[in-house]
Amino acid sequence: MSLKDRRLAELRSRIPEIPAAAAHARQREGSLLVDVREDEETAAGSPAGALRLPRGFLELRIEDKAPDTARPILLICAGGTRSLFAAEDLKRLGYQDVGSVEGGFSAWKAAGLPVEVPPALDASQRERYRRHLTMPEVGERGQHRLLQSRVALIGAGGLGSPVAMYLAAAGVGRLTLIDDDRVERSNLQRQILHAESRLGQRKVESGRTALLDLNPTIEVVAQDARIEAANVLDLLGGHDVVVDGSDNLPTRYLVNDACLRLGVPVVYGAIFRFEGQVSVFGGGPAAQRPCYRCLFPEPPPAEYAPSCAEAGVLGVLPGVIGTIMAAETVKLLLGLGQPLAGRLLLYDGLRGEFNEIAVPVDPDCASCSGRAGPELRDLAAVCGA
Amino acid sequence: MTDVTIRMPTPLRGFIGGLDQVTVPASTVGEALAVLTAGREPLRDRLFTSDGELRRFVNVYLGRDDVRRIGGLEAALPAGATLTVMVALAGG
């Protein structure tokens, strides 16, 4: 008997070998199924819902994926041999209930059990997103989720610029830029999506050029349109997150009401001079996240409204607020951490201070408390002197 | 009576000489805002209706909380309280 066979016989006496069908049943009951084959092997197919963790990284990364050492773990490889060695390693590491799938993936397939082909990153994607892939909170699964995500950005201006740049860099698969302006030289003090060489272009086209230069592997949809009640659902539908970087109150109310109807979260940001506001509205289970109207039920009448004349803003201010908006967007897409919902972050650039106020759900909110969806209508442009 | 700091949003700072915050003596939210707006009729008109109610598009927070939810203008101010006046910002 070879050394290997002697060792395997000894392992078989201690490690439970579970037939594929029984392993599948246990997986559905909560056991963690870990495919320990190499990436090249799993690329052609792997048990549906399995964690794919090549054996060479098993001990290094398993704790991030399975922090509870009491949770039953089932390991699977190609034929049921490597998984026995790996099971022994996990037991040594402290996992209490570890089994090996008898016959491995061959037996799994032969039994007609569910298989999925994991979306694979190519070599250039692996290089591009390496700093994401090495983070357990993102990893390959999270990067795939980003690549499959769709985000609409309202406004390709001050706030839209940094948000779009960081989301493109992060690999958000489809970005829809919505804006009906052209690039002017006075934009360039803060709107870093645009450039002197693209003065006069539609902002969405200029933005598309910049974003694809940064990351040519994503899709950028340019919507040269002004959001109105008649087109808002078409423009925003089908997105996972809407980023509101618009420059006027009527659009903000309309976007809020439309996104409540669509069930899509809005990452909100607004700026003026040295001051900024950021929050996340809607998108959660009904009545669990406030909406913009829970914070500001109605816009001010014209005589009290912010001036429509171009508002002064410190050029870097949209960078401060926009990058927080981008971070909140990525968190929402990946389901990470606590979204900035139910609270509004206030930034005072002159004092260098962040403050936070509570924004609870308003049970009487005209938009999000009713059973019927809010009526979508265009508000008159409100302009102060 | 305690000293309360009132933070003002950028769009309303012009009403108080460009200051970003002021400190006034007061026992309640209403008293603090009355001191703030005394002699500043345009600011009073901006914050309050003719009935003396806070306008619906103006929010005032005691610490983190909207004063409308914690007793309104009658809400008592603890020592060292900070009020934050907030209005919508449109810019993007």
Task: Give the tens place of pLDDT for each residue, A24-78.
Answer: 999 999 999 999 999 889 988 999 999 999 999 899 889 878 889 999 999 999 9
Residue A290 sits at the chain B interface (C-beta within 8 Å): no
Report the distance separating Cα B83 and Cα B75, nearest Å. 11
Question: Is the Cβ–Cβ distance between A139 and A185 less than 8 Å?
Answer: no
- Confidence band (pLDDT; 50, 70, 90) for A308? low
Quickly tell me which residue has 């009491």 as its tokens: A70
CA distance A374 to A368: 7
| Same-domain pairing of A109 and A179 | no
B15 touches chain A (CB under 8 A): no
Residues 6 or more apart whose Cβ sits within 8 Å of residue B50: none
pLDDT at position A374 over 80: no
Given CB atoms, is B56 within the 8 Å cutoff of chain A?
A: yes
Distance from CA of A281 to the nearest CA of B (A): 15
In contact, B8 and A274? CB cutoff 8 Å:
no
Domain annotation covers residue A373:
no
Assign domain B2-87 to its CATH superfamily: Beta-grasp domain (3.10.20.30)
At A180-228, the pLDDT tens digits run: 999 999 999 999 999 999 999 999 999 999 999 999 999 999 999 999 9
Are residues A170 and A68 part of one domain?
A: no
**Looking at this protein, which amino acid is placed at residue A211?**
L
DSSP at A315 = T
Query: Do A272 and A343 belong to one domain?
Result: yes
- From the CB of residue A142, how many other CB atoms can be counted at a distance below 10 Å? 21
**Is A308 a known active-site residue?**
yes
End-to-end CA distance of chain A: 93
Main-chain dihedrals φ then ψ at residue A234, nearest 5 degrees: -65, -40
Q: Are residues A24 and A65 in the same domain?
A: yes
Q: Name the residue ranges covered by the structural domains of chain B.
A: 2-87
Bridge pairing between strands B21-26 and B2-7: antiparallel
pLDDT computed for residue A381 by the predictor: 67
**Please, which residues 341-380 of chain A have a Cβ atom closer than 8 Å to chain B?**
343, 346, 348, 350-351, 355-358, 360
Contacts of A247 in chain B (CB under 8 A): 90-92
Residue from the list B66, B87, B92 with its beta carbon closest to the beta carbon of A159: B92
pTM over 0.95? The answer is no
User: Above 60 in pLDDT, residue A118?
Assistant: yes
Identify all chain A residues contacting B65, using CB atoms and an 8 Å cutoff. 357-358
Residue A203's CATH number: 3.40.50.720
Residues A37, A180 within the same domain = no
pLDDT for A309: 57
Shared-domain flag, residues A164 and A57: no
B41-46 own/partner pairs: CB under 8 Å, 24+ apart: B42/B15, B43/B12, B43/B15, B43/B16, B46/A304, B46/B12, B46/B15
Q: Which residues of A touch B70 (CB under 8 A)?
A: none
Q: Is A157 within a domain?
A: yes
Q: What is the pLDDT of residue A385?
A: 44
> Of B8, B77, B70, B64, which is closest to residue B40 (Cα–Cα)?
B8
| For range A120-128, the mean pLDDT | 92
Q: What ipTM describes this predicted complex?
A: 0.94
Query: What is the total residue count of chain B?
Result: 92
Q: Please give the backbone phi and psi of residue A40, each rounded to the nearest 5 degrees, phi first.
A: -65, -30
Summarize pLDDT for A328-351 with one digit per residue, the tens.
999 999 999 999 999 999 999 999
Q: Are A203 and A178 in contact (CB under 8 A)?
A: no
Residues A257 and A344 in one domain: yes
First-to-last alpha carbon distance for chain B, in angstroms, is 40
Dihedral angle sign, alpha carbons of residues A47, A53, A58, A63: negative
* Interatomic CA distance for residues A80 and B88, integer angstroms: 63
- Chain A, 243-282: which have a CB under 8 Å from a chain B CB? 244-249, 252, 269-277
Determine the Cα–Cα distance for residues A262 and A246; give it in Å rounded to an integer. 19
Do residues A108 and A153 both lie within one domain? no
Q: What is the pLDDT of residues A137-154, one digit of tens each?
A: 999 889 999 999 999 999
- Which tokens hold the place of A236? 């925003």
The reply to whether residue B59 touches residue A296, judged by beta carbons under 8 angstroms, is yes
- The number of residues making up chain A comes to 385
Query: Which has more pLDDT, A113 or A373?
Result: A113
- pLDDT, average across residues A293-307: 83
Question: Can you give the C-alpha Rg of chain A in angstroms?
Answer: 26
Q: Is B61 within 8 Å of chain A by CB?
A: yes
Residue B71, classified by CB atoms within 10 Å of its CB into exposed (0-12), middle (13-18) or buried (19+), is: middle
- Identify residue A269 by its one-letter amino acid code: G
**Spatial CB neighbours of A192, under 8 Å, sequence gap ≥ 6:** A161, A162, A165, A319
Inspect the interface and report whether the beta carbons of B66 and A275 lie closer than 8 Å. Answer: no
Size of interface A-B (CB pairs under 8 A): 86
Question: Largest Cα–Cα distance in chain B?
Answer: 40
For A227-259, how does the pLDDT look when each residue is reduced to its tens digit (9 = 90+)? 999 999 999 999 999 999 999 999 999 999 999
Residues 6 or more apart whose CB falls under 8 angstroms from that of A201 comprise A182, A183, A194, A209
Residues 6+ apart with CB under 8 A from B78: B2
A9, two tokens: 């016989």
| List of long-range contacts for A197-206, beta carbons under 8 Å, 24+ apart | A203/A156, A203/A157, A203/A177, A203/A179, A204/A156, A204/A177, A204/A178, A204/A179, A206/A156
| Catalytic-labelled residue, pool A291, A308, A365, A383 | A308
Provide the residue type at B58 as one letter.
V
Q: Which two tokens stand for residue A170?
A: 């992060």
Residues 6+ apart with CB under 8 A from B44: B37
CA A308/CA A73 separation, integer angstroms: 61
d(CA A162, CA A321): 9
* DSSP state string for A153-215: EE-SSTTHHHHHHHHHHHT-SEEEEE---B--GGGTTT-TT--GGGTTSBHHHHHHHHHHHH-
| Alpha carbons B89 and B85: distance in angstroms, whole number | 12
- Which residue range forms the structural domain that includes residue A335? 149-358
Smallest CA-to-CA distance from A46 within A106, A125, A86 is with A106
Return d(Cα A97, Cα A113) in angstroms, integer: 23
The distance of A173 to chain B (nearest Cα, Å) reads 24
- pLDDT mean over A164-173: 98
Same domain, yes or no, for A242 and A342? Answer: yes
* Tokens (6 digits) for A188: 């360039």
Q: For residue A307, name the pLDDT band (cuts at 50, 70, 90).
A: low
Number of domains within chain A: 2
Say whether both A111 and A199 belong to one domain: no
